[in-house]
Structure 1
Amino acid sequence: MSPRSRILLYAVLLVLCVPFVFPTWWMVTSSLKPNAEIFAYPPRLWPADPSFDAWRQVFTMQPFAEQYWNSAYIAVVVTLGTLAVAAPAGYAFARIRFPARNALFLVVITGLLVPSEVTIVPLFRMFNALGLVDTHWPLILVPVFGAPSVLATFIMRQFFVTLPVELEEAARMDGLGRSAIFRRIALPLAKPALGAVAIFTFLHSWNQFLEPIVFISSKEKYTLPQALTQFTDVYQGPLWNVQLSAASMTAIPVLIVFVLAQRQFIEGLAHTGLKG
């Protein structure tokens, strides 16, 4: 491309980025403003007197550090658990021939068609009978063995289908069994798909809202989406700058995860879903 064409391309891309970047910019800058300035007209793109008072109030109004830790460790455990379930399941559906394999895979995939709102009441009754309500176990077990894991299994299966069969045949000639082929050949080659699954799963767990408000009632056990609703004044009206401060802190791990794993994410999308 000529320098003029490159500059024009970058200018167009910059304009197209504005609708996606501006809400994040507004969230962060508004968290540094007093409430009155947030609704000032004309709006200010940068606070007149930036202040981190709202950021400090986040930790005084709620046990926010503990709630932050709750979301972080739950998201990590759910991500690792989903990878541990989806990777071997996807490989089995892609490579191992067993009776009614396609029919069983179809049954598994239909789990994506069932809304979480339909199953939330039976799940609550089940976990209540087990004495696990107001614990973090439902927030871990439901995603690992529910719809997020089904989607992850589908992505992994689609990736393993694309691997050349000759790789496994050569491994068998070298004396490797099925489990060794999976661990030493298929799994290392599946890093792009694993990266995509990890990002999808982490974001789903980090942002889940329905399950926490159903299963969790103690503030110290809240996750971040549930905690964000609690920053209100005495009249239950929203404290906008405090909520935006908490939301800005909540978005930081999501941005870090995507920046660090964006290459695997893009490669994973490019290599999955191409073959049935």
Structure 2
Amino acid sequence: MSRRLSTRAKLLLYGVLLVLCVPFVFPTWWMATSSLKPAGDIFAFPPKLFPDNPQLDAYRKVFELQPFGQQYFNSMYIAVVVTLGTLAVSSLAGYGFARIRFPGQNILFLVVLTGLLIPSEVTIVPLFQMFHDWGMIDTHWPLILVPVLGAPSVLATFIMRQFFIALPHELEEAARMDGLGRFAIYWRIALPLARPALSAVAIFTFLHSWNLYLEPIVYLSTPDMFTLPQALTQYVDAYGGPMWNVQLAAASLTALPVVAVFVFAQRQFVEGLAHTGLK
């Protein structure tokens, strides 16, 4: 009897979860299927789950109307460089705050954490002026330097610090007895053990850089330099109206890396946050 109840309870639970996932899955499904429809069928009511006559014409126009391949490459390489740079900076800073004692350590870390409280909109004007003086407007340097060295890396530093604090002191003592210096301990012992936290930082940093929208609009003006979020706004007709099927086709291609990261790396992300002690 108890087995039957447990089976019924599982079936009920799965049924409830299926119903709850509909609001999250349906928009993505509608985006992907609508990109295969003629523009006049996209807003048909009731909405059709499957296109009557699938067409790939919108995907062809994605590459004809904009240098979409170059823009895709821009977003990809910027996200990769920002991720690697954030991993390097946040792991070094996190290890320093967690394992090296120096005067004013806690006060300095509190000052660093205030970066989480400052919206990017507040600093965008002085940053624009600074990069303008450096001759970096309409280049990718602002999209790389600001996330790696600015406030967006503060959360990554906090996650890495929380992980390194939990490492046993006996590991460092044994390493010193073997003749390792401070940087060697970080590189050969602490960093390999921090793979769960590094995975979590890498995932949310990549996604943040991939979806960045405000900064590219401010710093970039040449279509060949655009990133994908900015490029999606350029698919308009002669009257300035959105070309919905083309925009949805471009959005579907843009979402592929995000879906891949979510499917293949969600477990590493959860484990990484669990190892840092974050709730």
TM-score range normalised by the length of the shorter chain: over 0.9
After the TM superposition, which residues 200-239 of structure 1 pair with which residues of structure 2 at under 5 Å, given as runs? 200-239=204-243
Give the partner amino acid of 1:199.
I
Aligned residue number for residue 181 of structure 1: 185
Aligned residue number for residue 265 of structure 1: 269
Find the aligned partners of 2:92 and 2:131 in 1 and give their Cα distance: 27
Structure 2 length-normalised TM: 0.95
Question: What are the superposed Cα offsets for residues 205-256 of structure 1, whole Å, 9 maximum, x if unpaired?
Answer: 1111111111100001000000000000111001111101100000001111
Deviating more after overlay: 42-51 vs 258-267: 258-267
Aligned residue number for residue 142 of structure 2: 138
CA contact 1:191–1:264 (8 Å) conserved in 2: no
After the TM superposition, which residues 32-111 of structure 1 pair with which residues of structure 2 at under 5 Å, given as runs? 32-111=36-115
Deviation at 1:135, TM superposition (A): 0.6
Deviation at 1:273, TM superposition (A): 4.0
After the TM superposition, which residues 5-44 of structure 1 pair with which residues of structure 2 at under 5 Å, given as runs? 5-44=9-48
* SS of residue matched to 1:132: coil
Match of 2:131 among 127, 132, 150: 127
CA contact 1:30–1:244 (8 Å) conserved in 2: yes
CA contact 1:55–1:245 (8 Å) conserved in 2: yes
Deviation at 1:272, TM superposition (A): 1.8
CA contact 1:199–1:257 (8 Å) conserved in 2: yes
Find the aligned partners of 1:128 and 1:274 in 2 and give their Cα distance: 39
Question: What are the superposed Cα offsets for residues 19-67 of structure 1, whole Å, 9 maximum, x if unpaired?
Answer: 1111111110111111111111111111111111111110001000000
- Number of equivalent positions: 275
CA contact 1:33–1:241 (8 Å) conserved in 2: yes
Give the partner amino acid of 2:40.
A
CA contact 1:212–1:222 (8 Å) conserved in 2: yes
The Cα RMSD (Å) is 1.4
The answer on 1:192 being equivalent to 2:177 is: no
* SS of residue matched to 2:258: helix
Match of 2:121 among 109, 117, 121: 117
The percentage of counterpart residues that share the same residue type is: 75
Deviating more after overlay: 2-11 vs 18-27: 2-11
The answer on 1:151 being equivalent to 2:155 is: yes
Give the partner amino acid of 1:93.
F
Structure 1 length-normalised TM: 0.96
Question: What are the superposed Cα offsets for residues 99-150 of structure 1, whole Å, 9 maximum, x if unpaired?
Answer: 1110110111111111111111111111111111011111100111112211
